Structure 1
Amino acid sequence: MARILLIEDDKRLAEMVSNYLEEAGFSVTAAHTGSAGLALHGREGFDALVLDLMLPDMDGLDVCRKVRGEGSTPILMLTARGDAMDRVIGLEMGADDYLPKPFEPRELLARLKAILRRSRGDAKAEVMRFGRIEIDIGARQVRLDGEERPLTGYQFELLLILARHAGRVMSRDALMDLVKHERLEAFDRSIDVHISRIRAAIEDDAKKPRRVITVRGAGYVFAKAQD
């Protein structure tokens, strides 16, 4: 049974979400402030975090940053509709996915299952090597010169898809479809945010990428030949 930490200040919404997820087989612990949620996260182990960005005592983005600084617990953000900048910043801070309010409980459940599935990964012990880069599928780790580079579950999955199609240009739509199994919404730039985080982790110079390359007007390509 996956253990979920829900940080949501709207108590009625928190109760509704908790009941729905528990009926789906999850164990849910709810906190109504950012500080209470951080305290729970620090004391107990959770499989995933559902985080509202509008909290009464602190910015949900700060909660996201602190949780990510403590480990790799998957994070699903809940955002107010239209807060595109908050979503971008949240993804940059390490959130795995976001869901705008109001939302359908079924979509929340589907997205939560998806980030949990990505975080658990494939048990098959396979390592892909590209020059100084190693992608350890079984351990869900990326290493540069033998040193692990931090990526969220979503970012690891995105890099893995690019690596499995090395040398082939992948459009944003194709990447979104393969990682999240849904089409990219107009003006959605979440893929670009994740790519920038991947570059920060694995490129020698993220401003002059040589491993994950932009093909203007087409998408991204993972270089087959690497140093």
Structure 2
Amino acid sequence: MSKPKDYTLLVIDDELQVRRFTEVSLSPHGYEVHSAESGREGIELGTKLNPDAIILDLGLPDMDGLDVLSSLKSWYQGPIIVLSVRDDEDSIVAALDSGAHDYIRKPFHLGELLARLRLALRNNQANQTSPVYTSGNLSVDLSSRRVTVGEREIKLTVTEFELLKVLIRHRGKVLTHNQILTEVWGPKSVEHIQYLRVYVGHLRQKLEADINKPRLILTEPGVGYRLQNLDLLKEGMTASEAALIAEKVD
């Protein structure tokens, strides 16, 4: 009798090799893998399965992957990870702005894919629970607006706290500059990336152990930022998997 799977995963990719590889490689790690080779089939299967996570290629034969992403995001609440050969900055930003949780470039390492999936699933579960966010020695009570690092209470300005709150709300997800600027300062502020960098610098000064080697607020070069949860990172990730992620965001 086979062991029941922990998660249901949908892979939407027109490459047979990728579909087979993900099924063979991820099944031993607790994933029940379903696959679709076209956008329409993926949308239909996604509606039927409501999987725990979706892996989506952008270069599909019948639809643009961004259109598939938009269709899925109209109802789907779980993480969608884009897995694509497109590695230009515009494609990455467009996918993240359309609601992708993460973006992995092909060719990819299995260890990185596993690590990204684990973090995405755990962050998605954590988002639905406590109003108190913890990461290492950082604790943020969103209801009382109290921030502590260890035993030390940290005073944040209204804007600094709003920025931190947005990062926490989307914990583990790559947020583009435009997404953060729109949520914190409004849609008319999307051109003020330098303004955002200043406030990220302020948060790092107050929250990071070493501002020159940030571990909480990570930079996605040319794209935006990601809030990394140190507790989730320690729970189920090997050193090699953590190194692969660090390699992508440093």
Match of 2:70? 65
Match of 2:48? 43
Q: How many residues align?
A: 171
Match of 1:200? 182
The alpha-carbon distance between structure 1 residues 202 and 157, as it changes in their structure 2 partners (threshold 3 A), is closer
Offset of residue 215 of structure 1? 4.4
Whether contact under 8 Å (1:158, 1:179) holds in the other structure is no
Whether contact under 8 Å (1:67, 1:73) holds in the other structure is no
Counterpart code for 2:187: A
User: Structure 1 length normalisation: TM-score?
Assistant: 0.64
Counterpart code for 1:15: R
Match of 2:130? 124
Paired residue secondary structure (2:14) = coil
Whether contact under 8 Å (1:3, 1:46) holds in the other structure is yes
Determine whether 1:159 maps to 2:157.
no
Structural RMSD (CA): 3.4
Match of 1:165? none
Paired residue secondary structure (1:70) = coil
Q: Where do 5+ consecutive residues of structure 2 fail to align?
A: 1-5, 133-140, 146-162, 205-250
The alpha-carbon distance between structure 1 residues 25 and 156, as it changes in their structure 2 partners (threshold 3 A), is farther
Deviations 1:115-152 (A, max 9, x none): 11110116435461489xxxxxxxxxxxxxxxxxxxxx
Match of 1:167? none
Offset of residue 37 of structure 1? 0.3
Offset of residue 216 of structure 1? 4.0
The alpha-carbon distance between structure 1 residues 89 and 81, as it changes in their structure 2 partners (threshold 3 A), is closer
Distance 1:27 1:80 in 2: 24
Distance 1:105 1:130 in 2: 41
Determine whether 1:18 maps to 2:26.
no
Paired residue secondary structure (2:74) = helix
Distance 1:59 1:14 in 2: 18
Question: Which structure shows the higher helix fraction?
Answer: 2
The alpha-carbon distance between structure 1 residues 215 and 107, as it changes in their structure 2 partners (threshold 3 A), is closer
Distance 1:158 1:202 in 2: 7
The 5 A counterparts of 1:72-91 are 72-91=77-96
Counterpart code for 1:196: N
Determine whether 1:54 maps to 2:64.
no
The alpha-carbon distance between structure 1 residues 217 and 125, as it changes in their structure 2 partners (threshold 3 A), is closer
1:112 pairs, out of 117, 120, 126, with: 117
Deviations 1:75-128 (A, max 9, x none): 100121533211110000000101000011111111111111110116435461
Whether contact under 8 Å (2:58, 2:84) holds in the other structure is yes
